[in-house]
Amino acid sequence: MPVLAQEATAEGRIFNEIAGILIRQRTEHIEPQLRELREQLLAVYNGPRRADVNFATCQIGLALSAFGLGDHDEAMRQASNALKNGAGQLTVMINAQMMYANMGEFALARKTAAASREAFAGDFEALQISGAAFVDCLDFDAGIDCLEQMAKLAPPESLMVQIKGGIAFLSEMSSAARFLKLTADDLMERASCVVDVIRAAGHKIYWVELAGHRPGASTLQFFVDADPDICADLTFAVAEALTSRYAETAVDLVTMAVRTHEGVLVTQASNVLELVS
């Protein structure tokens, strides 16, 4: 879920409302409310008291609202501006990498997650979300590193159990990838191939999640703006594209599937780790 802004400002309040409403998007029609919040944020952004405005918070809020409204080009533009203006702000870096991962911009997600992991090495929540971004990018070793750093922060025993389970799962996935002679870059390239197929068909990605419990029984799921029948056709097209492009499709490690975005219940991953989902 999005990380909330902490500043008690108009832009911080509006950003937090945008973040909250996006969580409900999978089960509710939130477009009118999201458009209204976007207009409120634009009014602050373009308003007269510009010296008092946190522009990076405005820009990442505008990015998330554009993402939710399906204007992914504008989302990318605003996120890029936010990272330039607020590279040291946790709210900006964390939400940018989450948005990138969920729209299938894996290279940007991994780059931003790596910068965030370094900048916020002592922040449990920041490491948790960077770990989730790495996992969605199929960079299992980087995900393990985040979990190991989280373990060093002395979390409660209940969380340690989950962290250890996540490390065990990702270690198994990493070992299986090495056996197949597939690097993190190789795996991300295959995930990006899926994105190419989805976008070539005219659809947008709103959520990416790795589901599963072990190598060969895990699926990278792409939730898109299409009904189930079209998603089935897209999954078949993805399989064809991977087979034609790669001798090793990585199917023995992780499969790729396209799912419908609308009406999907918000759930914690019962797989990788509830913390990293």
- pLDDT for 267: 38
In a domain, 147, yes or no: no
**How many structural domains is the chain composed of?**
2
Q: Which domain holds residue 68?
A: 1-86
In a domain, 140, yes or no: no
- pLDDT for 2: 57
CB-CB contact of 4 with 94 (8 Å): no
In a domain, 203, yes or no: yes
Q: Each residue of 136-173: pLDDT tens digit?
A: 999 999 999 999 999 999 889 989 999 999 999 999 99
Q: How far is CA 89 from the centre of its chain?
A: 18
The percent of residues in the chain predicted with pLDDT above 90, rounded, is: 76
Residue 207: CATH number of its domain: 3.30.300
- pLDDT for 273: 41
In a domain, 11, yes or no: yes
Q: Each residue of 198-252: pLDDT tens digit?
A: 999 999 999 999 999 899 999 999 999 999 999 999 999 999 999 999 999 999 9
Q: Of 26, 61, 86, at which residue does a domain stop?
A: 86
In a domain, 32, yes or no: yes
Note the pTM of the prediction, 2 decimals: 0.90
Based on its alpha-carbon atoms, the radius of gyration of the chain, rounded to whole angstroms, reads 19
In a domain, 174, yes or no: no
Query: Which whole-number Å values give the CA distances from 275 to 155, 254, 263, in the listed order?
Result: 12, 21, 23
Q: What is the spatial distance between Cα 249 and Cα 244, in angstroms, rounded to a whole number? A: 9
Per-chain mean pLDDT for the chain: 89
Q: Of 29, 58, 86, at which residue does a domain stop?
A: 86
Q: Of 86, 112, 142, at which residue does a domain stop?
A: 86
DSSP H helices in the chain: 10-23, 31-45, 55-69, 72-85, 90-102, 106-119, 124-136, 140-151, 157-179, 184-200, 228-245
Instruction: Report the 10 Å Cβ neighbour count for 196.
Output: 13
Predicted confidence (pLDDT) at residue 6 exceeds the cutoff of 80: no
Residue 11: CATH number of its domain: 1.25.40
Instruction: pLDDT band for 52, please (50, 70, 90 cuts).
Output: confident
Residue 230's closest CA among 184, 197, 207, 254? 197
In a domain, 228, yes or no: yes
**Looking at the DSSP assignment, which residues form a beta bridge with residue 255?**
219
- pLDDT for 272: 38
In a domain, 93, yes or no: no
